[in-house]
Amino acid sequence: MTTTAPVKKPVAKASTGTLLDFKNVAMQFPNGTVALQGVDLTVNRGEFVTVVGPSGCGKSTLLRIASGLEKASEGTADVDTDRIGYVFQDATLLPWRNVQRNVELLAELHGETKASRAGKAKQAIDLVGLNGFETSLPKQLSGGMRMRTSLARSLTLEPELFLFDEPFGALDEITRERLNDELLKLFTEQQFAGLFITHSVSEAVYLSTKVVVMSGRPGRVVDTFDVPFPMPRDPDIRFTAEFAELVGEVSHALREGHH
């Protein structure tokens, strides 16, 4: 199978450099709602940035601006790559397509050949551990497996910047922790930069190199925490005092920013 192996990234990724740079970004919707105000945020290569903030503070809006789905009404939102992965809150699979065909979708939309699509899909399916489920339909999968399929679909883009909008929010605790570990593995192996939104402070601390805390609407960045734990992350750090302390600090900042 070596001959059909998908083409690896032609350019070696620099380990530094800014992929996403938001300066003084504000977002006011036509109906007058101000979702974001004066947001400064950077995501560098090699970083996994997590955003926590109260519901409705504009976190999704932030990602929508980053992906180009929405245009900031003020400030500059620079994104220095066009290989952007976007994982939605729900898996957004097409229910009439099996896992294989769902994972192939993005390459298909880019007009790639069948062979190229299949190669990319196979690699991505391997990465998320869905081998053997290629012909399953979404309705036959568990929530966790659907999310894996969704991840695999974005992985076919070989993204440099990966946006996640509360992807594991609807999953049970155990599935969520497993997917966190696999996501971290992907992060170290695939070397994308991540911008991840979650409601869970411990998930934020566990996953990321940097945690950004936002205030209630209109959302502003109220605090930023660097997460010092080394990157192939040991699942057991979750039970250390340092981890608990950082979770406490972030939670505190979150509560402060709320009012």
What residues make contact with ligand ATP under the rule CB under 6 A?
29, 31, 33, 35, 53, 55-61, 217
Nearer Cβ to Mg ion (43/118): 43
Tokens 């960045």 correspond to what residue? 221
Alpha helices per DSSP H over the chain: 59-67, 99-109, 114-127, 143-155, 173-190, 201-207, 241-258
Which pair of structure tokens corresponds to residue 158?
A: 């070989």
Compute the least distance from the CB of residue 36 to Mg ion, in Å.
12
Q: Are 103 and 121 in contact (CB under 8 A)?
A: yes
Nearer Cβ to ligand ATP (59/146): 59
Q: In what order do the strands lie in the sheet with 210-214?
A: 84-87, 161-165, 193-198, 48-52, 210-214, 221-226
81 binds another protein (CB under 8 A): no
Site string for Mg ion, 22-61 (x = CB under 5 A): --------------------------------------x-
Compute the least distance from the CB of residue 59 to Mg ion, in Å.
5
| Residue in 17, 56, 68, 235 binding another protein, rule: CB under 8 A | 68
Question: What DSSP state is assigned to residue 5?
Answer: P
71 binds another protein (CB under 8 A): no
Distance between CA atoms of residues 113 and 206, nearest Å = 39
Nearer Cβ to ligand ATP (29/135): 29
Nearer Cβ to Mg ion (60/202): 60
Nearer Cβ to another protein (94/115): 94
Q: Can you say whether residue 255 is alpha, beta or left, with left for phi > 0 and alpha for psi between -120 and 50 degrees?
A: alpha
139 binds another protein (CB under 8 A): yes
Residue-wise DSSP of 86-122? EE-SS----TTS-HHHHHHHHHHHTT--HHHHHHHHH
67 binds another protein (CB under 8 A): yes
Q: In what order do the strands lie in the sheet with 34-44?
A: 34-44, 18-28, 74-79
Nearer Cβ to ligand ATP (16/55): 55
| 55-84 residues near Mg ion, rule: CB under 5 A | 60
Question: What DSSP state is assigned to residue 32?
Answer: S
Binding partner of residue 95 among ligand ATP, Mg ion, another protein, none, CB cut-off 5 to 8 Å per kind: another protein
Residues forming the site for Mg ion (CB under 5 A): 60
